[in-house]
Amino acid sequence: TRYKKMNYQLTAEHLMIRQAARDFAVNELLPGVIARDEHQQFPAEQIKKLGELGFMGMMVDPRYGGAGLDTISYTLAMEEISKIDASVSVCMSVNNSLVCWGLENFGTEEQKQQYLIPLATGQVIGAFLLSEPEAGSDATSQRTTAEDKGDHYLLNGTKNWITNGNSAGVYLVIAQTHPEKGSKGINALIVDKHAPGITVGAKENKLGIRGSDTHSIMFQDVKVPKANRIGEDGFGFKFAMKTLAGGRIGIASQALGIASGAYELALQYAKQRKAFGKEISQHQAIQFKLADMATQIEAARLLVHKAAWEKDQHLDYTLSGSMAKVFASETAMAVTVEAVQIHGGYGYVKEYHVERLMRDAKITQIYEGTSEVQRIVISRAILA
Ligand code: CAA
Ligand code: FAD
């Protein structure tokens, strides 16, 4: 199936969704994006509006409050939002492709009624808690414990770097129940953020995506009903891996959007800025930069759409998702650096947006599996 031919075309519906996301980004996100970055302000109002438009549960079945769209639609929307504000799109990505997708595909009917509907309609934001201070890439080394107490689990430990950590109402927490079973002893639990025993750490002061809400979360004897476990006892690590495989398509789309946003600004600037009696776009050195940027972006977009298409066709998209993520995030880094260069000194100040996109690009090589982790996943698949 890996070699099944991709045959997809953007439909009228896809183009409409892309346009709606583009309009939203320009009208609702662009005003204030520089100040939100500078003041590390979480885009609460903007996320609320995104939810009202159906962008927080894009792929969820309308029975559970979602928009019932395909993964290609989701990548198109993620690209457009990320062109302008990656602090908004990371929140959107975690909610859509980790939290909602995980609950819809592996949750019970009761869990979906209680938790998925408010998440998919954007009334509540979700967070995905896998990483720990000493378990990032090495994700099976979970130290957070979910002790089996019969009718409930007792949760203890610390999660690190949690996106939406303070703004979320629902946490999906990965924790170890049977240490002797290694990765097969891990569980995924749905935890109410306001449960007694939870402490939210200070917001991280970051290089990029500064508006996004990144916190460590501490659990001390937090009681979680057994009914809040996702899947069978010991399914938690597989749950995390399966969910992250799709999440990586979301982050690849984010990286693609950061790259294409920076490229569009650089293209426009190069046609206006004059040096040595002509537009800088008339200098071949600048033309070749633009040519390379456009080519890298096109390749990244094709990989992202291929992974999304495979997911929609119910094919295995683990390999294509990792390829899309590593390529798009490296493209985002390379393209944003060149976009700053094309802007010269103006690129180095905030008003021109490209310095923010350059700072935002870096995280796409780190979260949801570093570039090195993607290469582990890719090499295992091609050597298998
Ligand atoms: N689907 C289903 N099962 C999978 C799987 C997949 N894609 N990948 C692994 N598994 C299963 C394996 O089959 C294995 O189970 P069995 O023993 O039954 O075969 C089990 O999981 C353990 O897998 P590995 O032995 O491959 O584990 P490993 O220790 O070698 O690690 C890894 C593999 C790919 C490096 C993995 O640990 C990993 O992905 N690490 C990165 C973690 C990560 O991406 N964190 C992101 C946090 S969320 C986030 O970052 C959100 C955000 O920023 C916005
Ligand atoms: P480490 O795993 O310690 O890695 C350090 C370096 O060593 C990296 O370059 C890595 O690639 C490399 N390395 C490690 N192992 C290997 C190996 N086997 N082979 C080759 N190289 C290797 N996590 C969540 O669970 N939920 C979230 O919502 C979330 N949001 C985040 C938001 C932000 C802003 C940040 C910064 C992180 C977020 N994370 C989240 C955590 C993120 O997923 C981890 O930071 C990431 O997986 C890397 O883990 P680490 O930081 O522990 O680095």
What pLDDT tens digit does each residue of the chain (384 aa) get? Answer: 455 667 778 999 999 999 999 999 999 999 999 999 999 999 999 999 999 999 999 999 999 999 999 999 999 999 999 999 999 999 999 999 999 999 999 999 999 999 999 999 999 999 999 999 999 999 999 999 999 999 999 999 999 999 999 999 999 999 999 999 999 999 999 999 999 999 999 999 999 999 999 999 999 999 999 999 999 999 999 999 999 999 999 999 999 999 999 999 999 999 999 999 999 999 999 999 999 999 999 999 999 999 999 999 999 999 999 999 999 999 999 999 999 999 999 999 999 999 999 999 999 999 999 999 999 999 999 999
Query: How far from 113 is each of 63, 174, 362, CA to CA, in Å?
Result: 9, 21, 37
Q: What was the pLDDT predicted at 122?
A: 95
Instruction: Assess whether 368 carries a catalytic annotation.
Output: yes
Is the ipTM, as predicted for this complex, more than 0.95? Answer: yes
Nearest to 344 by CA among 269, 242, 244, 262: 269
Q: What was the pLDDT predicted at 378?
A: 98
Nearest to 349 by CA among 209, 358, 362, 329: 358
Q: Evaluate whether 241 touches 174 at the Cβ level (below 8 Å).
A: no
Ligand 1 pocket test: which of 144, 183, 212, 380 has the largest number of ligand atoms within 8 Å of its C-beta? 183
Q: What was the pLDDT predicted at 4?
A: 61
Q: What was the pLDDT predicted at 5?
A: 66
Q: What was the pLDDT predicted at 3?
A: 56
- CB under 6 Å to ligand 1: residues? 90, 94, 128, 130-131, 137, 139-140, 163, 183, 237-238, 241-242, 244-245, 318, 367-369, 373, 376-377
For ligand 1, the distance from its centroid to the CA atom of residue 243, given in whole angstroms, is 10
Q: How far apart are CA 108 and CA 102, in angstroms?
A: 11
Closest residue CA from atom 8 of ligand 1: 241
Q: What angle do CA 80, 291, 366 make, to 5 degrees?
A: 50
Closest residue CA from atom 31 of ligand 2: 161
Neighbours of 97 (CB within 10 A): 29
Q: What was the pLDDT predicted at 150?
A: 96
Which residue in 38, 338, 368, 372 is the catalytic one?
368
Q: How far apart are CA 174 and CA 15, in angstroms?
A: 37
Nearest to 209 by CA among 81, 58, 384: 81
Q: Evaluate whether 99 touches 126 at the Cβ level (below 8 Å).
A: yes
Atom from ligand 2 closest to the CA of residue 131? 25
- CB under 6 Å to ligand 2: residues? 94, 128-131, 136-138, 161-163, 206, 209, 214, 363, 366-370, 372-373
Atom from ligand 2 closest to the CA of residue 368? 43
- 168 Rama sector, left if φ>0, alpha if ψ -120 to 50, beta otherwise: beta
Neighbours of 299 (CB within 10 A): 13
